[in-house]
Structure 1
Amino acid sequence: MVLGANPAFAAYSSPVTVSSSTWNATSPAVGVDREGDTLLAWTEVSTSYPYTYRLLVRQRSRSGVLGSTKVISPSGQVPKSPRVALDDDGDAVVVWQAYAGDTYRIYARRVSRTGVLGPVLAMSTATPRAFLADVATDSDGDALVVWNERRSDGTSWPMVRRFRRDGTTGSVTQLTRTARNADVPAVAIDRQGDALIGWADDNAIYARTLSSTGVYSLVRTASPALSPIDGYSSARVAVDRYGNGIVAFRRRDAATGHSALWSRGVSPVGDLGVSRTLSPSTDEVSNHVVASDLDGDVVVVWDRTDATALHARRITRTGTVGSVVQLGIGREPDLAVDDDGDGVVVWQGRNSASTVNTIQTARVSSGGTFGSAATISSNGEAPRLDATRTGGVVVAWERMFTVTRGIQVTSGP
């Protein structure tokens, strides 16, 4: 894959602040349906003691019209880390982690395309503690919620629960019979509702598929064997329209001190494909994201721990691995592609004086090129985005104003 000039796409819209000017807002999440209608979510905290915490959502139409802001977390909660997933019609599921009472739990709530709020549901059990949920939904709105569960004996376990479009939930399921220090799981769902779930547990990366009819595959070890002093972490997953998936993950090599980026294909029934090393040997990979179009062409993006480079690579549906491309300088990338593989990468960059964080973006082409980096905000952090079926994206990020921190949004390119 080569680095090319920016394709002739329209410019991004002017950034709009969607959060309150009198609260501190963080942790934006973005979900976009196939036509471009969007649900935005973020957390806010009051600026004075006693502090009040809340989780909010706001809808944005495909033409850019903003709806009213709605608080969706119950009073007394301390919500964190929201995630959003939309079905084809714009009906959404929002999940988050919250401390309430004396423990951490995972909560979920539906928001219809017309703005109607469903009830707040506790997805995890009252004990033990639950953290860092992920969510994915199929075209009709049936969703899967996954999270990490930490128990009193010190072990951590990957968990999953179905959240159906009619508002009912399935049982809480433990994804493996053995776990020691399981990392946060990730989930992706194809158009028919078949899912791929991946997670790390110290010395291995595991993957498991779940069909739309509720059939689980065996737990597969997707990572190569390694020394006990090395380790794996941070599984990320993506699937095409047929359920063919990929799991991307970091491998820590104690001998060299480097964390390399690896990937492995996973079939719809859980069979494992080719294992690949994706990052250069000199990279110390910190954050990575992966996305697939409907035909199985995959893009992987990662940053370095020292934030001196942001790299990308493409893997075609036939298994051809493109060259490593440097998109720019920065960290915390996010990525979305449309049905045909056109998309956008966003990340947190720095201005020329390296004094202020910026929001950078580059176009992904289905033909195998990346556009050059462009700045869409001169002041911002923690960008997140999602794409329509035809490649338009909505991007949200945190911005520091004079007194408070807010959430800004733009669309394009």
Structure 2
Amino acid sequence: MALRAARHRRSWKRRFLAGASAAAAAGLAVTATMAINAEAAWTSSWNVSASGWSAADSPQVSVDRQGDALLAWTAGDMSTTYSYQRVQTRVQYASGTKGAIRTLSPDGAAVSWPETASDDTGDSAVVWQQDSQVVGRRVAASGSLVGPLQKLSTSAPATTPVVAVTPGGTAMAAWAEIRDGSWYAVARRIKLDGTVGAPITLGSGSAEKPAIGVDRNGQFVVAWARASDVVARRITSTSVSATKVLTTPIASYGGFGMVRVGVDRDGDAVISYHSGGGAVAQVWASRWSRTGTLAAPLRISAAADNAGFHHALATDLDGDSMIVWTRYANGKLELLGRRLSAGGTRGAVTTLGLGDRPDLALDDDGDGMLVFHTVVAKSTPPYSYTKTSARLVSRSGTFGATKTLTSDGRVPQVDTAPSARFTVVWQQESFPYPIKSVTGP
């Protein structure tokens, strides 16, 4: 029954995307029947965070191969004097059952920016910034905590952690920290039992957030920005590769940043990033094969476009990627997207309308979802509201119609099960700012 339902969802999705694409090409409106079918496949949104707690932005979600999702966020108890933020998690099972809320961080600590990743069976790792250090903790598939809180960084301040988990459960965290006045990129394993490995100094870095991905064989790719370039290294269970410079042909007077990594099943990596300075900021992508071959950087945004701050990258198991980015146009931010094939062919650019803070997820075969938020002006105070929306993406790179998930939400994040069942999480924009989630289609 589960397999039949998954096939039905995928068949419906392809018919919907194909119909939307054909209608658009013919200059026709997408029919109301399509919209009804799309909405019927979504669950109702629900409050992830506890009543009486006020959450911060940038909640996170990771989904295992059964479709169970771990949601992570920061929130403070408004009934307490100082309402200290705590890192909290909660499991949403594919069946729809919700687990208990777990608090991972101690009371009184200054915490921010949790990141999470899960293995095939739902055992997860959560990392975050705490009191100028980077810390982490394991969470079992049941939602229970495994082992003690672990300090991962070796110096302070340490910031902007990211994490990936192998199919079998070994996690790797990466972050930036200052040693003797200089920034370094550092990585460290967090094992299934909650113990940690030795720190791995990757090399000189910057305060920019690194990026990390992992293939189906358990090989990690970590990429990060330095003062004048973007570099990457591979980490296996027994070795760390030499540093690979990705950006040698690109002039960037303002430096590089916003690094993202996508990895296919065998370890071929796509690394996307911003270049600053010059006339306009631009988005690029480098392809680094598992054999070590580095292709020339590909310009993703148009040469004349001034790219915005945020962009998103997702890669399927065959190595095909989708990239969505923002650009400034007439004083507003709009979204654009294009496909990048495993062979390095850039698809046509699709203009997606106004939006910001994009996030992407692709399933095993490349069917995906884009989520984003849009600030909409209105004539009465507070003179704007923020809505969170989603668009399906076909494996050929076609974007479906926009579906509004909420008219009161910001900073959405999305992840997927292997067969295109997506879990989305966001922060409600209005007080008391709960974290909310929905699953579909």
Q: Do the structures match in fold with TM over 0.5?
A: yes
Q: Residue 22 of structure 1 corresponds to which residue in structure 2? A: 52
Alpha-carbon distance between aligned partners in 2 of 1:408 and 1:228, rounded to the nearest angstrom: 39
Q: Residue 65 of structure 1 corresponds to which residue in structure 2? A: 97
Alpha-carbon distance between aligned partners in 2 of 1:315 and 1:63, rounded to the nearest angstrom: 34
Runs of at least 5 residues in structure 1 that lack an aligned partner in the other structure: none
- Which letter does structure 2 place at the counterpart of 1:321? R
CA contact (8 A) 1:202 1:233 kept: no
Tell me how far 1:117 sits from its aligned partner. Answer: 0.8
Deviations 1:325-369 (A, max 9, x none): 122211001110000000100001134647110001110111331
Change beyond 3 A, Cα 1:167–1:364: same
Q: 1:44 aligns with which of 60, 75, 86?
A: 75
Say whether 1:378 aligns with 2:407. yes
Relative contact order higher in (CA < 8 Å, ≥ 6 apart) = 1
Alpha-carbon distance between aligned partners in 2 of 1:393 and 1:125, rounded to the nearest angstrom: 33
Q: 2:146 aligns with which of 118, 132, 147?
A: 118
Three-state SS of the structure 2 residue aligned to 1:310 is strand
Alpha-carbon distance between aligned partners in 2 of 1:50 and 1:293, rounded to the nearest angstrom: 44
Moved more, 89-98 or 110-119: 110-119
Alpha-carbon distance between aligned partners in 1 of 2:420 and 2:263, rounded to the nearest angstrom: 17
1:255-274 to structure 2, matched below 5 A, reads: 256=279, 258-274=280-296
Tell me how far 1:158 sits from its aligned partner. Answer: 0.7
Alpha-carbon distance between aligned partners in 1 of 2:269 and 2:413, rounded to the nearest angstrom: 22
Q: Residue 34 of structure 1 corresponds to which residue in structure 2? A: 65
Deviations 1:73-108 (A, max 9, x none): 122212211111111111111111111xxxx11111
Alpha-carbon distance between aligned partners in 2 of 1:63 and 1:307, rounded to the nearest angstrom: 40
Alpha-carbon distance between aligned partners in 1 of 2:112 and 2:259, rounded to the nearest angstrom: 21
CA contact (8 A) 1:261 1:285 kept: no
Say whether 1:284 aligns with 2:311. no
Q: Residue 319 of structure 2 corresponds to which residue in structure 1? A: 296
Three-state SS of the structure 1 residue aligned to 2:361 is strand
Alpha-carbon distance between aligned partners in 2 of 1:229 and 1:368, rounded to the nearest angstrom: 32
1:11-410 to structure 2, matched below 5 A, reads: 11-26=41-56, 27-47=58-78, 49-99=81-131, 104-125=132-153, 127-153=155-181, 155-176=182-203, 178-179=204-205, 181=206, 183-211=208-236, 213-227=237-251, 229-254=253-278, 256=279, 258-280=280-302, 281-305=304-328, 307-351=332-376, 353=378, 355-401=384-430, 403-410=431-438
Runs of at least 5 residues in structure 2 that lack an aligned partner in the other structure: 1-16, 24-29
CA contact (8 A) 2:387 2:404 kept: yes
Alpha-carbon distance between aligned partners in 1 of 2:291 and 2:192, rounded to the nearest angstrom: 24
Q: Which structure features the higher share of strand residues?
A: 1
Three-state SS of the structure 2 residue aligned to 1:317 is coil
CA contact (8 A) 1:327 1:362 kept: no
Moved more, 352-361 or 128-137: 352-361
Tell me how far 1:293 sits from its aligned partner. Answer: 0.5
Tell me how far 1:307 sits from its aligned partner. Answer: 4.5
Tell me how far 1:70 sits from its aligned partner. Answer: 1.3
Deviations 1:370-403 (A, max 9, x none): 11222111110111111000011100100034x4
- Which letter does structure 1 place at the counterpart of 2:45? P
Three-state SS of the structure 1 residue aligned to 2:145 is coil
Alpha-carbon distance between aligned partners in 2 of 1:36 and 1:273, rounded to the nearest angstrom: 35
Alpha-carbon distance between aligned partners in 1 of 2:249 and 2:344, rounded to the nearest angstrom: 22
Q: Residue 411 of structure 1 corresponds to which residue in structure 2? A: 439
Tell me how far 1:166 sits from its aligned partner. Answer: 3.5
TM-score by length of 1: 0.92
- Which letter does structure 2 place at the counterpart of 1:289? A
Deviations 1:260-284 (A, max 9, x none): 0001101224431231001012232
Q: Let me know the Cα RMSD of the aligned residues.
A: 2.1
Three-state SS of the structure 2 residue aligned to 1:273 is coil
Alpha-carbon distance between aligned partners in 1 of 2:259 and 2:191, rounded to the nearest angstrom: 25
Alpha-carbon distance between aligned partners in 2 of 1:230 and 1:381, rounded to the nearest angstrom: 29
CA contact (8 A) 2:148 2:194 kept: no
CA contact (8 A) 1:208 1:270 kept: no
Alpha-carbon distance between aligned partners in 2 of 1:246 and 1:284, rounded to the nearest angstrom: 19
